[in-house]
Structure 1
């Protein structure tokens, strides 16, 4: 069993990255983080080591796997060359005190790779060695497969061309199980069915190839939902090429495991075509396989929170970022994956269930928006207290901030609310928009001016027309309800009363009407103003009314940036 693998100077990987290996190792991280680079480097190095000639050289034509035909540019930023001092692609597998080291550089004529193998495990590299099998993911299955010679079959399998040889692998399983070199009638693959059945319960497989009569290998499958009681099997099963991509990828994983029994099974994004529930069953099945096949270790690259969440202590979860291994604790990585916050710097909890307006606000600052995970609580009453958020911040190793609509609160009211929720003593950044809610910002005259391409006086007039369409009594009732709810539980000595606050804001006006309500009236007023007039084209602005046309809520930007900076100082 390998304890670790190290990769240096390959694609996204610059400085050496050492990956500790367990029975199942799961690499997570964003696109371009280096997850796939690790898998490809291992497989390429092993295959070049196996196929090298007596002078340690392997040409592109001999390589049964290469991540690119332009292999000289597979090193990190610097072209591979034959000079002794130049950087080399390096892969090291360690098993206790023993190791297998492979250093790769170009041949003098750049026609191939020179793979120098060293270490106490160098003798394990033989022409028939099956150290790795690589599954990059299927794009589908070829329509037919005629019989291939064993070396050709293994060459295609090593190349990752699972879609062209999967039936061959199934035939190999039948031949191994029966001891016959020809399968005249459909042979059921019970062991494959058992393992794939852990992911797709009730599935069954058959394969047939009569060497005297058949041209193509025939493979069939039957899922539980295809079964029709009392009907003959040959009227129920279907040809394997009719199966879906995700299903076929799971079949490939376990077929390769059973056929090759590699020491390292490298699987790139097995979740990409699977439902979250199926992803959970897949990782459970792989962990079972790790126990049943102790000589095989599994290494996966994934983006799936569901897969990581369902994994047990059998699996080790490691975080790749910018071509390096992050130092965060495994439990922290698992939790961040569970929240979908792996590559985020800040968790923004918002009382809004409809996230679109907040997303549009954050979209003003693209670099910042990419760092923020929005988490709706579907109501202000569900916002966590400061102690809970401080614990979340510590467990995830991520900045945390809270958005709550103002609901007509004064700054003094806001301070009382912060104190009640203990955001002050736990240092939780808390943001309230200046208006009643975030939608109120989209009702400002300067925004309307840009949206409808009108001057400032017209924009102000349009807002007045929208306010006139609001039922004053309903608006005041809504105001009283929202304000009383917002100050509920606060000391009466610290807050105002609805009637006093109404007068302070000079209601009824834009400041005393919920932005959500007022925005609909702005749209109604615009239609009244422009429909049937030469300016009807101005209504095109309605399609953009929920996108900031002028800088909006810059105080939120400052609060989030400060929170992220503060968290990085603590990390």
Structure 2
């Protein structure tokens, strides 16, 4: 951006001469703005310096990148190559325009001994070339860079912050970047000012909190849902039923109920993130009784923390419901109910063995001193459940073989967008945490 030509910015009043020249002058550029770049045109005609500088100040840099490079000296192009080397390896730039014979500017890059037109470079290469070109062309006092991490490999993102700091020191400029990248933030040298902005307000300038929030995928979120399962596609699908809630939630994978995030760990997570997030821990109900579920929930009771149990045995059970199956397959409810009944009858022994195994695990966890209900008592009570004591994971697997034409699978379940609302208690817990 050229001084006094920035949109909405002007210099008024009397300033000392030593200060005024920092803001205004024929070749003085107080600030420079580098927008994201998504590619460049195949052909670029030569334009005057005034046209190029004005266009770049309006954010049209991708259309004029060759022109901007053509305004640089051979020494400046060599400097760009030097800055690119630790990030992308050896890159040689060649820019040529003959006033007597050319209409268009010819620009090439040589990488690993192979030359190619500039427009065939990856967007990450173009992004860095643009940033370094602006620094040398405008020599601004302040450089504004919008999300330089886009199209860059994480390892390059992490190096970029350090490289820009070194360049800023050598060129005598200040750099302000916007980013959503944990790698950019993590790569920022000690002393870098890191500020988290959301909805036009500063949330925090504590770098540790920002790094943790980005690392947990919680940036811009309000609730962290920590799943029991390593694979959480179905949990995310359930949350997508409620777009307003989904926008405030991030879901993280787990490692099974034996490694479930404990209350203490959840409290430590909240504390490390400056108490800016609520935490919902997901656990499958499995073969737990209602009393056992209630006691486990109470054990997690804490400000901003909830333990949520699935309404049925597990997440898969939500998608083994006759109503859901009917919408998915287009078959009447009674047909879907028959599929479930047939699976239950055909695999009764396996279902009961799985139930007994789970009850043994629950008793080991919760009733080491004795006092647990008998398996027969629990099994009888479970006959009122939709799957009558069977695990959703088991029924889900059997439905893939039972439903004709491959109409039931992970892919078809995942792709179904509209269906009767499921997991009402999940919605209630999220709403409670967000209230």
After TM superposition, is the score higher than 0.5? yes
**Higher share in strand:** 1
The 1-side partners of 2:363 and 2:282 are apart by 16
Paired residue secondary structure (2:94): strand
Contact 2:297 2:306 in 1 (8 A): no
The 1-side partners of 2:251 and 2:266 are apart by 14
Contact 2:312 2:385 in 1 (8 A): no
Corresponding position of 1:247: 125
How has the CA–CA distance of structure 1 residues 425 and 262 changed in structure 2, closer, same or farther, with 3 Å as cutoff?
closer
Corresponding position of 2:349: 473
CA displacement at 1:238 relative to structure 2: 2.5
Please state if 1:286 is matched with 2:164: yes
Extract unaligned runs of 5+ from structure 2: none
For residues 475-494 of structure 1, the aligned pairs below 5 Å read 475-492=351-368, 493=370
The 1-side partners of 2:164 and 2:128 are apart by 10
Please state if 1:399 is matched with 2:278: yes
Corresponding position of 2:432: 562
The 2-side partners of 1:273 and 1:216 are apart by 27
Q: Residue by residue, what CA displacement relative to the aligned partner does 1:113-171 show, whole Å, maximum 9, x if unpaired?
A: xx756766555322322112222123323444555433333223323332343334434
CA displacement at 1:383 relative to structure 2: 1.8
**Equivalent residue in structure 1 for 2:69, among 159, 162, 170:** 170
How has the CA–CA distance of structure 1 residues 119 and 504 changed in structure 2, closer, same or farther, with 3 Å as cutoff?
farther
CA displacement at 1:344 relative to structure 2: 0.8
Judge which range, 193-202 or 457-466, deviates more.
457-466
Contact 1:350 1:376 in 2 (8 A): yes
The 1-side partners of 2:166 and 2:101 are apart by 39
Contact 1:479 1:512 in 2 (8 A): yes
The 2-side partners of 1:314 and 1:219 are apart by 38
For residues 494-505 of structure 1, the aligned pairs below 5 Å read 495-496=372-373, 498=375, 501-505=378-382
Corresponding position of 2:422: 552
The 2-side partners of 1:551 and 1:510 are apart by 18
Equivalent pairs counted in the alignment come to 427
CA displacement at 1:499 relative to structure 2: 5.8
How has the CA–CA distance of structure 1 residues 508 and 151 changed in structure 2, closer, same or farther, with 3 Å as cutoff?
closer
Corresponding position of 2:50: 151
Contact 1:280 1:310 in 2 (8 A): yes
The 1-side partners of 2:53 and 2:326 are apart by 68
The 1-side partners of 2:337 and 2:120 are apart by 62
**Equivalent residue in structure 2 for 1:136, among 21, 35, 39:** 35
How has the CA–CA distance of structure 1 residues 369 and 495 changed in structure 2, closer, same or farther, with 3 Å as cutoff?
farther
Corresponding position of 1:231: none
Please state if 1:413 is matched with 2:292: yes
The 2-side partners of 1:549 and 1:333 are apart by 37
Q: Residue by residue, what CA displacement relative to the aligned partner does 1:50-98 show, whole Å, maximum 9, x if unpaired?
A: 4xxxxxxxxxxxxxx76xxxxxxxxxxxxxxxxxxxxxx5x6xxxxxxx
Relative contact order higher in (CA < 8 Å, ≥ 6 apart):
1
CA displacement at 1:437 relative to structure 2: 0.6
The 1-side partners of 2:117 and 2:100 are apart by 21
How has the CA–CA distance of structure 1 residues 303 and 427 changed in structure 2, closer, same or farther, with 3 Å as cutoff?
closer
How has the CA–CA distance of structure 1 residues 237 and 387 changed in structure 2, closer, same or farther, with 3 Å as cutoff?
same
The 2-side partners of 1:272 and 1:475 are apart by 50
Please state if 1:190 is matched with 2:48: no
Corresponding position of 1:261: 139
With the length of structure 2 as denominator, give the TM-score of the two structures: 0.85
Contact 2:80 2:132 in 1 (8 A): yes
**Higher share in helix:** 2
Extract unaligned runs of 5+ from structure 1: 1-42, 51-64, 67-88, 92-101, 103-114, 178-188, 228-235, 566-571
Paired residue secondary structure (1:326): strand
Paired residue secondary structure (2:72): helix
Corresponding position of 2:209: 332
Please state if 1:385 is matched with 2:251: no
Contact 1:346 1:564 in 2 (8 A): yes
Contact 1:413 1:494 in 2 (8 A): no
Q: Residue by residue, what CA displacement relative to the aligned partner does 1:223-274 show, whole Å, maximum 9, x if unpaired?
A: 2xx33xxxxxxxx323323212221110111122123221111222222222
Contact 2:229 2:255 in 1 (8 A): yes
Corresponding position of 1:85: none
Contact 1:451 1:544 in 2 (8 A): yes
How has the CA–CA distance of structure 1 residues 169 and 393 changed in structure 2, closer, same or farther, with 3 Å as cutoff?
same
The 1-side partners of 2:62 and 2:351 are apart by 64
Corresponding position of 1:23: none
The 2-side partners of 1:452 and 1:166 are apart by 54
> What's the Cα RMSD here?
3.4
CA displacement at 1:369 relative to structure 2: 1.5
